[in-house]
Amino acid sequence: MQLTVWTYEGPPHVGAMRVATAMTDVHYVLHAPQGDTYADLLFTMIERREKRPPVTYTTFKARDLGSDTAALFKSTLESAHERFKPAAMLVGASCTGELIQDDPAGLAKAANLPCPVIPLELPSYQRKENWGAGETFYQIVRHLAAREGVEPVAGKPQGRVPRCNILGATALGFRHRDDVMEITKLLKENGIEVAVVAPLGASAADIARLPDADFNVLLYPEIGEQAARWLKRTYGQDYTTTVPIGVGATREFVAEVRRLAGLDALPDRSDAGRLPWFSRSVDSTYLTGKRVFVFGDATHAVAAARVATEEFGFELVGLGTYSREQARAVREAAQAHGLTALITDDYLDVEQAIAEAEPELVLGTQMERHIAKRLGIGCAVISAPVHVQDYPARYSPQMGFEGANVLWDSWVHPLVMGLEEHLLGMFREDFEFSDTAKPSHLGPGQRVSEAPAAEPALRPLAEEGPIRIWSADAEAELKKIPFFVRGKARKNTERFAAERGLAEITLETLYDAKAHFAR
């Protein structure tokens, strides 16, 4: 476990909470001290859920450590069952509770409750949140969907509509609710019925019905793949491998689900969203070739890299993930672009990589949003962890054809805003656009005299070596460069001057550097 100011994932018991909160009649009893109840705020304040998570804490205190904490857990378990009457219960320990070694699984078995009790062994000091969510969902499926003597499915009965399950969506997931709605609609358009969505919105009885479907749609491998593999081994249910993010991937997804459903292939849709036309339009030619850095969970990072390069025409200059369990897919995607994948959960490593890559756009998490803001780079959020503004009230999926439209709006917006700010900067001295001019609807603009802002005479270089200065005319010319590439221009010019031993950067030096790096 690493001590850090920011973290991409919480401990694994938070992942278990995401699964329990997503379901309708499952309750989680967590052996934890009072301080670990902070996790409730993730759901009520960030995701803005109307109800607190279905979690009961033992909330032992320091003075309890000298007494029988096992008895405290057992009484908490029994009272939680009596109060909430769930169809199934989860039991486990937080990272602090794990140190006490009270064995919640054994205590729960001894309690002999009249409902299924599923023990969770989540090593808090070796694993993290997404793994915890995946393991929890797997244990729930393994315990509740197991059937004695059931043969693997041999195919759907003649005449019945093809039926599938959607696996992987949880509470506190990035746009999971809207993704499920979009993919359900897409499946229905293709004549495929959705039997169960799990864990989001599922009951314990729904989990027991999972084997009745013909195949599974796996939307989030970090959470649902382990359960999907178990269902395939046990009941012969195949599952999808294409994540439908972007127009190209959505078309491939449709072809895959139709194949699994035994339906004939269809020609590509002509109404596959507006992204293809927008990316070919005159307005977007300014965006072609923009340098982009991608970081997030593996599912969204790999998908974003593909969409950015194949559908937006961006140049990928960095790709990484904090999901170590899914790192192989990210490494393969990065290698295909001639890059070395960044696999880390240290935000300082990510910040350094972004600064070195000098992108014009960052696609990342809430952490990368802060990093990009400090570096003066545009950023769009594509993956958890996210903040409250990334749980919008409006319908805003990331998957499917409508999700591709959302990607266009959210990814291009930071670049378009950069262009607008550049235009404002270009016309700042014009009497019509001056900050001191009267509003245009009141008549001709009138410039109000004001004291000119003092220009800094010197600007020391941050690099080691002799101090160099920027002349006033060079500094003024630099300000005419769009702000989202100005930092790169400044850095290149300073490096150009340093290599030639120039103590002062003049207007001529700036032009020479521009010509040098344009070759």
461 is in an annotated binding site: no
- Paired with 291 in beta bridges are 315
Burial (CB count <10 Å: 0-12, 13-18, 19+), residue 483: middle
> Within 10 Å of residue 62's Cβ, how many Cβ atoms?
8
CA distance 19 to 168: 9
Phi-psi region of 515 (alpha: psi -120 to 50; beta: other; left: phi over 0): alpha
- Paired with 216 in beta bridges are 165, 239
Ordered DSSP codes for 293-355: EEEESHHHHHHHHHIIIIIS-PEEEEEEES-GGGHHHHHHHHHHTT---EE-S-HHHHHHHHH
Contact partners, residue 180, CB within 8 Å, separation at least 6? 166, 169, 197, 200, 219
Instruction: Print the SS3 string covering 84-100.
Output: HCCCEEEEEECHHHHHH
Both tokens of residue 50?
A: 């109307």
**Pair 131, 15: CB distance under 8 Å:** yes
CA distances from 518 to 478, 489, 493, 512, 515 (A): 16, 11, 12, 10, 5
264 is in an annotated binding site: no
Stated as kind and residue range, the H or E segment containing 258 is helix 247-260
CA distance 49 to 457: 54
Phi-psi region of 450 (alpha: psi -120 to 50; beta: other; left: phi over 0): beta
Contact partners, residue 35, CB within 8 Å, separation at least 6? 96
Stated as kind and residue range, the H or E segment containing 255 is helix 247-260
419 is in an annotated binding site: yes
Both tokens of residue 518?
A: 């344009």
Active-site residue set: 283
Which residue ranges are tagged as binding site for [4Fe-4S] cluster? 36
Which residue ranges are tagged as binding site? 36, 418-419
Which residue ranges are tagged as binding site for substrate? 418-419
